[in-house]
């Protein structure tokens, strides 16, 4: 069994003991990682602070080249990293509609290249006979990154690459459930980056490393992807030294199928697209479709079509070539998902597919489609983060937009229609950071992505995301 190491100050670091990482397809430990603690955190922050002056003064073109070189590292080690991602998350190598470990590592490569080519040139506000006023973007210092278990490597890349590109140094803490691919990547990155520029610590939850990062006076910014309750705690703890924050938190994305979405009353093609955006990665994506509102005229045919797709989906070990959906990543999350389904069943929901805990090893749960659900049921009001799709009936457009907005989350939303222009006009009424027309969750590295309401603060990706890793300095040069 392989044992992986932390990287601090450019050196491999072990701890007094290790802990096991479980493959959710088998329920068995497949790797061991160091059980880091707050002393390791202090060392990592010290290394990052020591590396910051030189890295922040590195010529911009050299930092750009270094980030491109990190994409090259990912490319050269893609098969190895895909295997690790599948073993620790359970997601298939290929997956439903190609959404699996290959997409995760491939997406990490693409994001790294695009981020490398971003720049924040000096902006000139005024240049006349009186004065020249320039606005400069400067790195913040040490960025603390805390990543989740659902897309562990890709989200680490989302956090780390803009931080490095802007001239910051980084201390990274992956989820204790999925630290392996991230530890391996940072080890490999040591061949590109100067010591201390990128550091990583693995730690169990009870070690309190994440909490210590939020309060640490040597960390200037926290970027966190995860649950809203944890985001609130980070925000409160970060007030001690007024850390900058980027928080991408929970989503309970609504999709609205308009009456004209399936011309000819043929729901099969529409159902296939909706199934893909609701169930890829087993529904374990912040911007998955999680609440599906369907007009009366299409409701029953679409429900039945979705249920057929769910029953036909190939669920299994992600290392098998034909697997479309793997297990839920951990037992606690699977139990939560099943509790939501049972609550809906008790309140009269029709379980059209799935809805039963399977026997055998691993944390598998069948893709589940629920009909006759209502706003107010837990499975609608709460984020399932699993392979469950509640389908909710509506008849009035204005009413359904209000119902979609009546949720504390506001990450993404979608409208499905044969009239994209009309749907786009309705999109502006949805209270969410991103809206897709005839698509859902299709993010890209040059378009900003973030939530409103309790789905987060700040944005990621593109120029807007890069700016979040900088502070503004205004320089006024008097003339004459």
The residues spanned by each domain of the chain are 2-249+455-478, 254-444
Q: What percent of the chain has pLDDT over 70?
A: 99
Return the DSSP state at 169.
Answer: E
Q: Is 80 helix (H, G, I), strand (E, B) or coil?
A: helix
Average pLDDT score over residue span 264-288: 92
CA distances from residue 330 to 21, 26, 91, 184, 292 in whole angstroms, order as listed: 11, 11, 12, 21, 25
pLDDT in tens, 470-479: 999 999 999 9
User: In this model, does residue 266 exceed pLDDT 90?
Assistant: no
User: Smallest Cα–Cα separation from 179: which of 7, 419, 425?
Assistant: 7
pLDDT in tens, 367-396: 999 999 999 999 999 999 999 999 999 999
What pLDDT was estimated at residue 73? 98
Kindly indicate the confidence band of residue 415, based on its pLDDT and cuts at 50, 70 and 90: very high
pLDDT in tens, 6-50: 999 999 999 999 999 999 999 999 999 999 999 999 999 999 999
pLDDT in tens, 185-221: 999 999 999 999 999 999 999 999 999 999 999 999 9
Q: What percent of the chain has pLDDT over 90?
A: 98
- What pTM was computed for the model? 0.97
Average pLDDT score over residue span 440-460: 97
| CATH architecture, domain 2-249+455-478 | 3-Layer(aba) Sandwich (3.40)
User: In this model, does residue 480 exceed pLDDT 90?
Assistant: no
Cα 224–chain centre separation: 9
Cα 154–chain centre separation: 8
Cβ atoms 237, 271 nearer than 8 A: no
Indicate the CATH number of 254-444 among 3.40.309.10, 3.50.50.60, 3.40.50.10320, 3.30.2320.50.
Answer: 3.40.309.10
User: In this model, does residue 264 exceed pLDDT 80?
Assistant: no
CA distance 332 to 330: 6
Average pLDDT score over residue span 293-300: 96
> Which are the catalytic amino acids?
248, 286
Contacts of 254 (CB under 8 A, 6+ apart): 289, 290, 291, 292, 293, 403, 404, 407, 413, 414, 430
User: In this model, does residue 103 exceed pLDDT 60?
Assistant: yes
Average pLDDT score over residue span 228-246: 96
């Amino acid at each position: 069994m392989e044992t992986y190491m932390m990287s601090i100050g450019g050196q491999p670091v072990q701890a007094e003991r290790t802990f096991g990482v479980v493959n959710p397809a088998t329920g068995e430990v497949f790797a061991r990682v160091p059980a880091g603690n707050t002393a390791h955190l202090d060392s990592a922050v010290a290394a990052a602070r020591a590396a910051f002056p030189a890295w922040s003064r590195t010529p911009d073109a050299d930092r750009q080249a270094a980030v491109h070189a990190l994409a090259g590292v990912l490319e050269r080690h893609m098969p190895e990293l895909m295997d690790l991602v599948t073993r620790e998350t359970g997601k298939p190598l290929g997956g439903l509609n190609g959404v699996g470990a290959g997409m995760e590592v491939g997406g990490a490569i693409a994001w790294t290249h695009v981020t490398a080519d971003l720049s924040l040139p000096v902006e000139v506000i005024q240049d006349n006979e009186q004065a020249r006023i320039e606005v400069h973007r400067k790195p913040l210092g040490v960025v603390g990154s805390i990543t989740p278990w659902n897309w562990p490597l890709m989200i680490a890349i989302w956090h780390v690459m803009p931080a490095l590109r802007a001239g910051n140094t980084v201390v990274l803490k992956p989820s204790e459930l999925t630290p392996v691919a991230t530890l391996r990547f940072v080890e490999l990155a040591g061949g590109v980056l100067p010591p201390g520029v990128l550091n990583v610590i693995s730690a169990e939850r009870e070690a309190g490393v994440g909490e210590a990062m939020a309060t640490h006076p040597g960390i200037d910014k926290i970027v966190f992807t995860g649950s809203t309750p944890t985001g609130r705690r980070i925000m409160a703890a970060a007030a001690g030294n007024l850390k900058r924050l980027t928080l991408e938190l929970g989503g309970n994305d609504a999709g609205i199928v308009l009456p004209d979405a399936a011309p000819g009353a043929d729901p099969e093609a529409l159902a296939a697209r909706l199934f893909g955006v609701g169930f890829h990665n087993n529904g374990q994506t912040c911007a998955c479709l999680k609440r599906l509102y369907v007009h009366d005229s299409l409701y029953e045919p679409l429900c039945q079509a979705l249920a057929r797709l769910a029953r036909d989906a190939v669920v299994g070990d992600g290392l098998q070539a034909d697997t479309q959906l793997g297990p839920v990543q951990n037992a606690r999350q699977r139990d939560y998902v099943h509790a939501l389904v049972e609550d809906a069943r008790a309140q009269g929901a029709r379980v059209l597919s799935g809805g039963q805990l399977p026997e055998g090893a691993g944390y598998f749960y069948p893709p589940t489609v629920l009909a006759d659900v209502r706003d107010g049921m837990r499975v609608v009001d709460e984020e399932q983060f699993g392979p469950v799709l509640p389908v909710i009936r509506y008849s009035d457009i204005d009413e359904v937009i209000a119902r979609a907005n009546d949720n504390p989350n506001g990450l993404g939303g979608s409208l499905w229609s044969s009239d994209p222009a009309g749907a786009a006009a309705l999109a502006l009424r949805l209270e969410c950071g991103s809206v897709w027309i005839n698509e859902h969750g299709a993010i890209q590295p040059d378009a900003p992505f973030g939530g409103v309401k309790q789905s987060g603060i700040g944005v990621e990706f593109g120029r807007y995301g890069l700016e979040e890793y900088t502070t503004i300095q205004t320089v006024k040069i008097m003339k004459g």
